[in-house]
Amino acid sequence: MQTHIDPSFQSDPDMPEAESILRACVHCGFCTATCPTYQVLGDELESPRGRIYLIREFLSGHPATLKSLEHLDRCLGCRACETTCPSGVRYGRLLEIGRSRMEQKISRPVADRAKRLLLRKTVPHPARLRPLLKLAGTVGPWIPPALRKKIPPAVSGPSLVPRRERAVEGGAQKQQVLVLAGCVQSVSTPATVTALETLLGTLGIRAVLPETAGCCGALSLHLGAGEEAREFMRHNIDAWWPHVEAGAGAILVPASGCGLMVREYAEHLRHDPAYAQKAATISGLAQDPGRYLLEQGLASRLEKLTGLRIAFHAPCTLQHGLKVSGAVETLLESAGHTLTHVPDSHLCCGSAGAYSLLQPELSHILRQNRIGCLTSGTPEVIATANIGCQLHLQAASPVPVRHWLELLLQETAENRESLS
């Protein structure tokens, strides 16, 4: 596609990349077939091709408008379009560049800005999020049901992921890996992280959770606070670096959305002279836990039992972002579980970070569509690989929704008990 970047952006270090992505798009429209927002809204400007057009117009010098920003905001960032695109257009990266520059030129409505600020100041901080969720649990009966369903649970007691160094013992520990517990996951579903630690322990691998590692930065990035996101990234790199130098073999993140973010640290910090090199190393070490456990031979170590009927919801960040498919499914089947057929498995559930809070109507439609597909094979439980999808689906699902790591860890009888 012919592109002329406006001279006002010429000193922007990301413009050569944006220009090359724009030029790669041949306007064929294949991507529209798999775009969830286009499928629901049927508007070209709610499709990848339409949004690429809007970003091109803006970077070419056309004034930013709130209307254009709204079309970009309605994008889930699911990257199904990247998987479909025959020209390899890196739409997700273009969206980040285009939307962040547009946000610098125009101001969002006050209520929108306030909501975004509130999310940024609470969700990535477990010490603030936990008491808020506990309070919400206490006053739950007085909260309107529609809002109550959006609030994740806060787990209390000893099962909380401790903010300290720790390792699960398991035979002769031949190597160590770093594990990121994350922010929402460490508060709402700490058992997922414990399950990963235990599974690693059975393989003789030591899981290390540095005390100071925290939010991956994805939420801030998606809410238009790029520098705040990069601060979270630098903070995690500093927390991990001594362990990387000591030989940590991988960085595993149970939440695929956070895992994708860590995989892309190199991209986001490449203009930072102090961190670019370290970020490249960190990105190279980031691995999906499913693929890692499979490569380490976990499948042959699992006892085959008469398992559960499971519908696997592959998060967009896993299948379109990290481009991992089949690893979780292989592990679940190796443990004796049966996977049900899930139609349209490429589609987003509508969670997409803060999307379910910022675009509730569209998110609700996408979730209902997804649950219809996921339950069509009459599963006993839905498994997924991302905390956001898990909580979002659970709020409306007729069957329980769990992280696959927890389902893999427990024996079948315990599984059924824990679902009831």
- Radius of gyration for the chain, computed over Cα atoms and rounded to the nearest angstrom: 21
Using CB under 6 A, pick the residue from 20, 87, 212, 368 that binds ligand SF4. Answer: 87
Q: Could you say whether residue 331 binds ligand SF4 (CB under 6 A)?
A: no
Q: How far is the CB of 214 from ligand SF4 (least distance, A)?
A: 26
Residues in the chain, total: 420
Nearer to ligand SF4, 261 or 339 (CB): 261
Residue 36 touching ligand SF4 (CB under 6 A): yes
Nearer Cβ to ligand SF4 (31/318): 31
In the block, residue with structure tokens 């031949």? 174
The answer to whether 42 contacts ligand SF4 (rule: CB under 6 A) is no
Is 89 a residue that touches ligand SF4 (CB under 6 A)? yes
Residue 81: CB minimum distance to ligand SF4, A: 3
Q: Which of 196, 392, 403, 420 is nearest to 310 (CA)?
A: 403
Q: How many CA atoms lie within 13 A of 224 on its CB side?
A: 22
Q: How far is the CB of 35 from ligand SF4 (least distance, A)?
A: 3
CB of 206 to ligand SF4, least distance (A): 37
Instruction: List, as own/partner pairs, every contact residues 217-221 make where C-beta atoms lie below 8 angstroms and the sequence separation is at least 24, other chains included.
Output: 217/124, 217/261, 217/268, 218/257, 218/258, 218/260, 218/261, 218/353, 219/119, 219/120, 219/123, 219/124, 219/183, 219/353, 219/354, 220/120, 220/124, 221/96, 221/261, 221/268
Among 59, 78, 251, 362, binds ligand SF4 (CB under 6 A): 78
CA 3 distance to own-chain centroid: 31
How far apart CA 54 and CA 37 sit, in angstroms, is 16
Question: Pick from 19, 21, 55, 79: which binds ligand SF4 (CB under 6 A)?
Answer: 79
Tokens found for residue 39: 């499928």
User: Using CB under 6 A as the criterion, what x/- string covers residues 53-72 for binding ligand SF4?
Assistant: --------------------
Distance CA 6, CA 234 (A): 31
Task: Say how many residues touch ligand SF4, by CB under 6 A.
Answer: 25
> Does 48 contact ligand SF4 by CB under 6 A?
yes
Q: Is position 81 an interface residue for ligand SF4 (rule: CB under 6 A)?
A: yes
Mask of contacts with ligand SF4, 340-359, x by CB under 6 A?
Answer: --------------------
Nearer to ligand SF4, 28 or 106 (CB): 28
- Does residue 309 sit in helix, strand or coil? strand
Nearer residue to ligand SF4 within complex by CB, 48 or 224: 48
Residue nearer to ligand SF4 on the CB measure, 236 or 317: 317
**Which residues on adjacent β-strands are paired with residue 381?**
310
Q: Which residue ranges make up the site for ligand SF4 (CB under 6 A)?
A: 25-31, 35-37, 48-49, 51-52, 75-81, 85, 87, 89, 91
